[in-house]
């Protein structure tokens, strides 16, 4: 990362904003359906359907958000997205009908997806090259650590908690969004975009390198989604074991992703591995870990538990190797002045697994533990194969260079005439 004091201050501010935001989210995500049921008084089915529709609507707006990021700057859009979520959680405490709840859920989902899109763009403005991968890993580690801490605090909520407990959780989460937004606004604006009015989605779709990265990410998202959707089904439904084992495995994953992100990326860089190779190795480890969950089902007792833990360690190490390096590749492939639009397309690919997971994994569990885990593992292998071909210069970077050369030539000509 840049050695200047201003850059170090910006990194500290961004880290603080991510930590505060994730701490509040850690209070919300483990109980999202339960919390919104208590706040609104609506049934679980209604809450689930509304949240699914809201996420779909939010994803449909991402192309517009990406253009706004390039025109207004990532910092301001990220701060606005956090404020939008703050307002949404405040409104959650007073809505009582499906229509109002639906409109609020759309606003919150839009804020959530926008924040996920713009945060990597902000990071890209603070670091380049290998430093970018390390900073992405640091932000992911901080986020996972804060999420885990928030979930730990959540265990203090009594089993027979009244609605006031859930209102308090919503208000705390809203406060963390507001604080994080104020922290983000203290970041410098950065350089203004070169081409504010450019809408580049045609170039995004024609950029074969970037679209290959995006397709690989869409495939890998199925394996990520399997951790939160398939693994509990595997433990509780297929193996008839206590849900506590699922919780213990998640604790292992949280500990590794919170502490090992930066060390793993730095170790891969020290041995001379590129982001592309690191991402491929990460996908391979995730595939091995996922199949390991299924293979462990052939054992019993303490051996089964240990095999599951080993599989989770392998999976988690693959996750911390793949996530920051694959995102860094996507950021590097995008022209600087159109990075918001490129990143919005990339962010949409993360949601493919999340959208398919409930239907796919509930059907796959009928194949048995090993059969069910082979499918997300195969998706990771296919993603790795897409990333295996080395590309010296991406289509987008080449196009960006040409446009910048033209702009520089025009600027030089203007100065020579003045």
pLDDT in tens, 318-363: 999 999 999 999 999 888 888 888 999 898 898 888 778 777 888 8
Answer yes or no: is pLDDT of 252 > 80. yes
CB-based contacts of 49: which residues, under 8 Å, 6+ apart? none
CA 19 to chain centre: 14
342 neighbors 332 (Cβ within 8 angstroms): no
Rg (CA), the chain: 22
pLDDT band at 6 (very low <50, low <70, confident <90, very high): low
pLDDT band at 191 (very low <50, low <70, confident <90, very high): low
Three-point CA angle 153, 158, 162, nearest 5°: 115
Answer yes or no: is pLDDT of 185 > 80. yes
Mean pLDDT computed over 203-230:
90
Go through the domains of the chain in sequence order and give each one's CATH number: 1-199 (1.20.1250.20), 202-389 (1.20.1250.20)
Task: Report pLDDT for 10.
Answer: 87
Q: Please write the tens of the pLDDT for every residue from 154-176.
A: 777 776 777 888 899 899 999 99
Lowest-confidence segment of 64-73, 182-191, 329-338 by average pLDDT = 182-191
Give which of 262, 268, 299 is closest to 282, Cα–Cα.
268
Tell me the CA distances in angstroms from 36 to 108, 148, 221, 304, 315, one per residue in order: 13, 20, 26, 36, 32
Q: Please write the tens of the pLDDT for every residue from 292-318.
A: 999 998 888 889 999 999 999 999 999
Cα 247 from Cα 312, distance rounded (Å): 12
- Widest pairwise Cα distance in the chain: 82
pTM of the model: 0.80
């Amino acid at each position: 990362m840049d050695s200047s004091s201003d850059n170090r201050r910006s990194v500290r501010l961004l880290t603080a904003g991510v930590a505060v935001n994730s701490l509040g989210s850690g209070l919300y995500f483990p109980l999202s359906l339960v919390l919104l049921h208590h706040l609104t008084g609506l049934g679980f089915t209604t809450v689930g359907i509304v949240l699914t529709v809201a996420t779909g609507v939010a994803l449909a707006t991402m192309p517009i958000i990406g253009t706004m990021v390039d025109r207004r700057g990532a910092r301001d859009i990220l701060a606005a997205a956090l404020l939008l979520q703050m307002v949404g959680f405040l409104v959650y405490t007073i809505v009582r009908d499906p229509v109002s709840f639906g409109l609020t859920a759309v606003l919150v989902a839009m804020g959530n997806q926008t924040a996920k899109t713009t945060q990597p763009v902000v990071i890209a403005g603070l670091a380049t090259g290998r430093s970018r991968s390390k900073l992405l890993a640091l932000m992911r580690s901080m986020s996972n650590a804060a999420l885990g801490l928030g979930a730990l605090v959540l265990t203090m909520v009594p089993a027979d908690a009244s609605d006031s407990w859930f209102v308090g959780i919503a208000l705390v989460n809203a406060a963390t969004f507001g604080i994080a937004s104020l922290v983000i606004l203290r970041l410098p604006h950065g350089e203004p975009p070169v081409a504010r009015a450019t809408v580049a989605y045609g170039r995004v779709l024609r950029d074969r390198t970037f679209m290959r990265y995006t397709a690989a990410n869409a495939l890998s998202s199925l394996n990520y989604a399997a951790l939160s959707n398939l693994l509990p089904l595997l433990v509780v439904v297929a193996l008839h074991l206590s849900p506590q084992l699922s919780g213990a495995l998640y604790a292992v994953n949280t500990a590794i992703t919170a502490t090992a992100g930066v060390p793993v990326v730095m170790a891969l860089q020290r041995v001379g591995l590129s982001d592309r190779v690191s991402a491929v190795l990460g996908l391979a480890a995730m595939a091995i870990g996922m199949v390991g969950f299924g293979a462990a089902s052939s054992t019993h007792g303490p051996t089964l538990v240990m095999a599951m833990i080993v599989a989770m360690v392998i999976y988690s190490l693959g996750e911390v190797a793949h996530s920051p390096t694959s995102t860094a590749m996507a950021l590097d492939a995008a022209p600087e002045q159109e990075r918001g639009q490129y990143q919005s397309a990339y962010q949409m690919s993360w949601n493919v697994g999340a959208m398919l997971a409930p239907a796919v994994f509930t059907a796959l569990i009928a194949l048995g533990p090993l059969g069910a885990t082979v499918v997300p593992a195969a998706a990771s292998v296919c993603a790795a194969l897409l990333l295996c071909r080395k590309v010296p210069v991406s289509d987008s970077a080449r196009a960006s260079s040409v446009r910048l050369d033209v702009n520089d030539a025009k600027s030089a000509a203007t100065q020579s005439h003045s």
